[in-house]
Structure 1
Amino acid sequence: MTKKYQIEIPEEALEQTDFQPGDRLALSVNHKQIDVRPSRVIDQLPQIAFWWYALPAAVATLVFYAFFRERNTVRPIPLTGSDYSLANGTMILGVISGLILFITTFIVEKVRKNGPTKDFYWRSLPPLAIACGLIMIFSFSAIFWLLGQMFNDARFDLYTTTVFAFVIIAAVNYLMINLAMTLTSGVVTNLLTIMIIGGMLFSMLTNSSRDWWKHNFSFLGTAENSASLQFNVTLIFSGLLMMTLVDYLFVNLQKRYRGRRVLVLRLLLYMLSACVASIGLFPNDPQFHVLHDRVSMWLVYIMLILIVLIRWILPEVTRQFLILSYVMGALMGLEYIVFKLSYYLSLTAFELLEFGLAFSWLLLLLQNIENLARFGHNLFLVEITPTQDGDK
């Protein structure tokens, strides 16, 4: 005999879904949590019509075809390694087409109040769009660099190249539409991580000096480095994207947790984001050297203040996160002492280790805030009761 139980769903909770009385739903157990979803998997996925991404891709492909037909009447088109290559053509048109569709989908979803996009402020759109554009550029560069290594000096005729261009641009369009329709704090956190790590790796790989690490980490943003623009732009828009994420998280967090402590946490995170952006805005060149160093120190001070005060300003902080915070703070302090009192660590190694610890802790903090924001205002008390025919 199998026992059966029932859960009464509050009307306020039901109004936030598309469920109707009598619907057949699917129930799953995930990490000791019960999830109730539509019974058809397709109903859980964004519904993106084929022409939404194929038609813009076709327009972009026509531009690609017309341009290369004019420039390359006889010669086959190289995969990479030329200004007039498949890599550069699809990157430019793919980024433009993808960004237009991302912005359009974001606006439509926001106006219709559909999906998670409705909880973002309008001011979040510019940094999100720019971050997506930069990530697409990094991704195109990395993927085509890899393809260039695998298929060295590969060339194709105009018609084959045009087909490749259509497939690539259509795929980018689909991903950007899907991203705009499923945008959440977790997605923005992933964008922030990819943008910072990808931008820095891109700057390290493409800079003009292979001995940059003998100077310091900030050398990547100086005028002596040919890839300084990528490095500084990455930092500037990483700071803006972090502000966007903080904005979004605290909209929901402050629906349940109010008071000065949460406000202090929000202001400190805004200041931290501003410092990250300012380090890119004022690179370590002679005219900005003093300001660059001071902003960098402010960044360290704010991190330390956050770690010390986290017990009081983060609602429902767990003991595990407190211990982890203090351990990371102690490691950062220990590294500083070792760097100052000995020659064991170079300046670059010290900066990279400090950045790794600080960024890892910051991601954990944002994850904790995300969990509080997600479960705080959408939390409803229910009771599991056995049904009368539970033993039948």
Structure 2
Amino acid sequence: MANQRYEIEIPEEAVNDLDLTDGAKLGLVVNDASLTLTPVLTENNKQELSIRRFLVPSFLATIAFAFWILWQKNPLIPLTGDSSLATAVIFFGEITGMGSFIRLHLKNIRQEKDLIKKKTDTRLAPTLFFSIALIQAFAMIAFFWAIGYLFQAAIFDRLTATILFFVFVSIVNYLMVYTVTLISTPFMMVLLIITIVCGVLVAMVTNSRLLWWQHNFSFLGTAKAHFSWTFNATLIIAGILWGTLIDYLFVPIQKRYKQHHRLTILRVFLTFDALCLLAIGALPNNPGLLHIAHDTAANLLIVGTGGPMLLIYWLLPNANREFKLFSLGTALSMVVTAFLFYGIRYLSLTAFEIIILGLGISWLLLLMQNIHMLYETKSQSYQVTLKSIE
């Protein structure tokens, strides 16, 4: 029995799906009463975070920063401001961070063996790069804005400023390199949620003394609000990221289901919603034509979201019954909310906007999750036979 050997015959479909070749090594994991076989990654396709991937650009950026502060001829470098440590980190961090992100993502695309996925990733790369670049810039600006509040009027000598610059820009480059390994539909959804929640909360907190809720929710993005750019930028980035997420999910799905017209209609609805969300941020609710354009975009977003809610039984017939009922319930809730505001004036404009926006975005995120589960997640089961060989 000690010399007894066994072999497992793997079905051809599984071999093709995993792109296995003769002599490929498989890892065997035994856990309790289960047995799992997984392909062993080679050095070419491992997603390793090599130190040099983020330290080399960080060193180069630090050298450029050192020359810059010498050229400034100022022995003291402020933490924030026009010619400050924060400005340098944002500028050089954006260049080196996005440079590393783009280079590694394109490298991963070139190494992709699935031709359909390779073409899809290439098609979506420009939109993805633009979205990530905006999010990185917004995150760094928001971070140093908060740091500026904590350490007001902080200044450093040249050596201290250079060391701090290296630390900050290294963190930025590490996060950008690490982000390359996370790119997926679920990650994009999480990123969208974080962007919306953090951006809106920052806008609320910074305008709490202005009692913004006595005006309307869109007041956070008007000229009268403090740091209105945070609110508007959040909606603009969310709209762009939403459009990217739609592409990231629907392009491979529609390649697989070319004659699925219902998915095409659903994609049109979702793309329209993304454009409306972007327009709400790009058109602040200031008096005049901007107010009319802002309200029009907001109302169109409600219509564009309510439409697929009511048509969900036809657009996604394979969705589970719970989500279909939730969609109709959400649509009914939006109608009731509209009646409470327009009909009997029970709700304030702020409450109406927050409730409608919360219901709409929550449903849209759940919709994307359900689409991903229906069309993207593949789990195939095969029956194999263990054979004894002499």
Shorter-chain TM-score tier: 0.7 to 0.9
CA contact (8 A) 1:272 1:302 kept: yes
Alpha carbons of 1:256 and 1:122: their partners in 2 closer, same or farther (altered >3 Å)?
A: closer
Equivalent-residue separation in structure 2 for 1:26 and 1:71 (angstroms): 60
1:6-35 deviations in Å (ceiling 9; x for gaps): 673435644644676452415488xxx997
Equivalent-residue separation in structure 2 for 1:287 and 1:295 (angstroms): 12
Alignment root-mean-square deviation, CA: 3.6
1:120-139 deviations in Å (ceiling 9; x for gaps): 45563444333323332343
In the alignment, structure 1 residue 158 sits paired with structure 2 residue 161: no
Alpha carbons of 1:27 and 1:272: their partners in 2 closer, same or farther (altered >3 Å)?
A: farther
Name 1:23's counterpart in structure 2: 25
For structure 2, list consecutive stretches of 5 or more residues without a partner in the other structure: 1-5
CA contact (8 A) 1:6 1:384 kept: no
If the length of structure 1 is used for normalisation, what is the TM-score?
Answer: 0.81
1:237-280 deviations in Å (ceiling 9; x for gaps): 42232222212211222244442212211111122122222223
Equivalent-residue separation in structure 1 for 2:382 and 2:14 (angstroms): 16
**What amino acid is aligned across from residue 326 of structure 1 in structure 2?**
L
Is the partner of 1:331 in helix, strand or coil?
helix
Equivalent-residue separation in structure 2 for 1:212 and 1:109 (angstroms): 46
Is the partner of 1:384 in helix, strand or coil?
coil
Name 2:370's counterpart in structure 1: 368
Alpha carbons of 1:204 and 1:41: their partners in 2 closer, same or farther (altered >3 Å)?
A: farther
In the alignment, structure 1 residue 98 sits paired with structure 2 residue 97: yes
1:310-360 deviations in Å (ceiling 9; x for gaps): 111125200111122222222222222222344543211221121111111
Alpha carbons of 1:159 and 1:319: their partners in 2 closer, same or farther (altered >3 Å)?
A: same
Task: Please list, as runs of the form range in 1=range in 2, the aligned pairs for 1:103-182 lying within 5 A after superposition.
Answer: 103-113=102-112, 118=118, 120=120, 122=122, 124-144=124-144, 147=147, 155-182=155-182
Alpha carbons of 1:107 and 1:161: their partners in 2 closer, same or farther (altered >3 Å)?
A: same
Equivalent-residue separation in structure 1 for 2:282 and 2:149 (angstroms): 34
Name 1:10's counterpart in structure 2: 12
CA contact (8 A) 1:222 1:228 kept: yes
Kindly state the Cα deviation for residue 188 of structure 1 after the two structures are TM-superposed. 1.9
If the length of structure 2 is used for normalisation, what is the TM-score?
Answer: 0.81
Bigger mean CA offset, 221-230 vs 172-181: 221-230
Equivalent-residue separation in structure 2 for 1:73 and 1:88 (angstroms): 15
For structure 1, list consecutive stretches of 5 or more residues without a partner in the other structure: none
Kindly state the Cα deviation for residue 205 of structure 1 after the two structures are TM-superposed. 4.4
| Count, aligned residues | 378
Greater RCO structure (CA 8 Å; 6+ sep): 1
Alpha carbons of 1:357 and 1:6: their partners in 2 closer, same or farther (altered >3 Å)?
A: farther
Equivalent-residue separation in structure 2 for 1:5 and 1:321 (angstroms): 44
Name 2:185's counterpart in structure 1: 185
CA contact (8 A) 2:135 2:237 kept: no
**What amino acid is aligned across from residue 217 of structure 2 in structure 1?**
F
Is the partner of 1:254 in helix, strand or coil?
helix
1:72-130 deviations in Å (ceiling 9; x for gaps): 6443x45x444444333322221222122222333333344369983545563444333
Name 2:50's counterpart in structure 1: 49
Equivalent-residue separation in structure 1 for 2:36 and 2:350 (angstroms): 47
1:31-74 deviations in Å (ceiling 9; x for gaps): xx997545689998512433332221111111222222343644
Bigger mean CA offset, 324-333 vs 348-357: 324-333
Alpha carbons of 1:51 and 1:388: their partners in 2 closer, same or farther (altered >3 Å)?
A: closer
Equivalent-residue separation in structure 2 for 1:341 and 1:348 (angstroms): 16
**What amino acid is aligned across from residue 215 of structure 2 in structure 1?**
H
CA contact (8 A) 2:131 2:240 kept: no
Name 2:313's counterpart in structure 1: 311
Alpha carbons of 1:190 and 1:210: their partners in 2 closer, same or farther (altered >3 Å)?
A: same
CA contact (8 A) 1:207 1:228 kept: no
Name 2:3's counterpart in structure 1: none
